[in-house]
Each structure stands twice: as structure tokens, then as C-alpha cells.
Amino acid sequence: MSNELGAFLRARRAELQPRDVGLPPDDAGRRVPGLRREEVATLAAISVNYYERLEQGRVVASAAVLAALVRALRLTDTQRTHLYALAGRPKPRRRPRQPLRPAMRRMLDQVTGVPALVLGPRLDVLAWNHLAAAILVDFAQVPAARRNLVRLLFADPAMRARHADWPEAARTAVAALRLETADDPDDPDLAELVGELSVRYPDFGAWWATRRSGAAITGAAVLRHPLIGDVTLDYDVWELPDGGRQRLLMLSAGPGSSAYERLQILASWTAAAL
């Protein structure tokens, strides 16, 4: 690796102050200006030892690490291009927001008695039915660019309040998002999402650093709703086998259960309001 990469990293962190990256100010002062190595490592969710060796030119940066450094160091597009050039890697291109597949649209339209969502790469919410909006959050009121399931779990107070065990729901979502980085480590939008959540929400940063990954395709969640109270719903996720990474997420309850009856009441109320 060229020592120029290490020089660039050192110069960039010297330009930044803790407040620039969402860290608390250092009241004790600093002997040298800029961010410390351990702060950059924390923001990038890599070990301090690895980051030190990276600055020293002793390791080769992977695509995932470069994406993490872009978000940690708040690089501009020009700086990002330069970073990738120094590392000998092509700059990743942004992907346009994925359109909803017709097959997913048809399935969603045919599912009316249970909450259902269509998720895309990065766990973006691509579409939903009226019952999903009623029991979770009104996705139509969220700008399309911010309509991401993990972001909403951390950033939206209503979504947080819906989950009786919010920490477990959030940890599961973080693990699923980390699995996305394995599928597409060069995705700059995914890197920006992880960077935003790492800086704004310490819990996200801590859970991301554990490197737990996995997609929960079945499970149960206790949701709290102001109209129907607490309901325990099973969730199931189906993915189209065409490699497009679009998934149908459904929430349901067993017929005859209290949760099922309450869900039907909510369905009738929300359908009447359409």
C-alpha cells in the first residue's frame, strides 16, 4: 500500500473536530488538532490496531473499510474518489432507488387482512398496505429518501413506541443491515446510512461494532398500539428468488387468538377510513 494513503488519512482527521462528526467536545483540550486515531476507528467500526496499521501502510484496505472511512471522515465526493484511487480501487457508483417489482406489487395488493411491507436493499421500505401503516407508522408521511426500516426504528419516536421490546427489535434490524454489507460492501448509500446512524445513535454504533449479522426471516414481536393495545404478531419474510433483493414482510396472528381479533378490528377501522 502506498504511504500516500496513510498521509491522506492523517491529514483528513487533523482537519476534523469532534463536533464535526457528532462526538462530544473534549473539554480537557488536545495536544494535537483533529480527531484521534481511536475516534476514527470507533466511527468506522474497526479496531484501533487495524486503523493504526492502515495509516502506517501495513494492511490493504478492503472495500467495506474504505466505505466506512468515507462516512467516518465525512469525505466529499472528490475526497472519496481520491481515497479510492490511493487504495487502488475504483470508486463505487451510487445505485438509483430500486423500483418495486410487479410481482411484489401484486402480492401486496392481494394481502389485505394482515400488515405487509415490501423491503428492498438496505431494508428500504418500497411499499406497504394500509394495515402496515396503521399498526407501525404512516410511511406516506416519511420522505422517500428517509423511508428505511432501520432508520425509522431509531429515529422515529412513534416506531420506537410501537415495540414493547425495542432493544431486541433494533438489534435484530442492525444485524440484518450488517448482512446487507456482505451482499454489497461497495454501496455508498449503505455506508452513509450506517455512518448517520452510528453518529446519531450510540446504541446503533455499539450493536454495529459487535459484528452480529443475520436476517431474521421468522419470529415474533409485541407491538403496542394506542387503539388495540398490545398484540403479539408473528413475522415472516419471503424473498423473490431472482436475486433482486426485494422481500415481502408480513405480520400475522393465529385465527381465534386475541391478537387476531384485535388485528381484524384495526383492519376494519382503517379500511373504513380509506
The residue ranking higher by pLDDT, 142 or 110, is 142
The residues with which 221 forms a beta bridge, in sequence order, are 233
Contact 199, 22 (CB under 8 A): yes
Residue 251 has pLDDT above 80, yes or no: yes
Same domain, 71 and 115: no
CATH number at residue 74: 1.10.260.40
Residue 15 has pLDDT above 70, yes or no: yes
Same domain, 165 and 236: yes
Lowest-confidence segment of 149-158, 182-191, 227-236 by average pLDDT? 182-191
From 55, 86, 117, the end of a domain falls on: 86
Q: Is residue 92 part of a domain?
A: no
Same domain, 250 and 214: yes
Contact 73, 192 (CB under 8 A): no
Q: Is residue 97 part of a domain?
A: no
Same domain, 72 and 110: no
Same domain, 78 and 106: no
Same domain, 117 and 153: yes
CATH number at residue 181: 3.30.450.180
Region of residue 101 (phi > 0: left; psi between -120 and 50: alpha; otherwise: beta): beta
Same domain, 69 and 116: no
The whole-number average pLDDT for the span 210-235 is: 86
Q: Is residue 167 part of a domain?
A: yes
Q: Is residue 193 part of a domain?
A: yes
Q: Is the pTM of this model over 0.85?
A: no
Split into its structural domains, the chain has a count of: 2
Q: What is the mean pLDDT of the chain?
A: 86
pLDDT tens string 41-95 = 888 878 899 999 999 988 888 877 888 888 889 888 889 889 988 988 877 676 6
Q: Is residue 40 part of a domain?
A: yes
Q: Is residue 141 part of a domain?
A: yes
Mapped onto helix, strand or coil, the DSSP state of residue 218 is strand
The burial of 171, by beta-carbon neighbours within 10 Å (0-12 exposed, 13-18 middle, 19 or more buried), is given as: middle
From 86, 118, 151, the end of a domain falls on: 86
d(CA 171, CA 167): 6
Query: Chain-centre distance of CA 148, in angstroms?
Result: 7
In the chain, which ranges are continuous DSSP H helix?
Answer: 3-15, 37-44, 48-55, 63-72, 77-86, 102-110, 130-135, 149-155, 157-162, 166-183, 188-200, 202-209, 258-273
d(CA 112, CA 130): 8
Containing domain of residue 33, as a range? 3-86
CA gyration radius, the chain? 21
d(CA 110, CA 113): 9
- Write phi, then psi, for 210 (nearest 5 degrees): -70, -15
Q: Is residue 94 part of a domain?
A: no
The residues with which 218 forms a beta bridge, in sequence order, are 236
From 86, 117, 150, the end of a domain falls on: 86
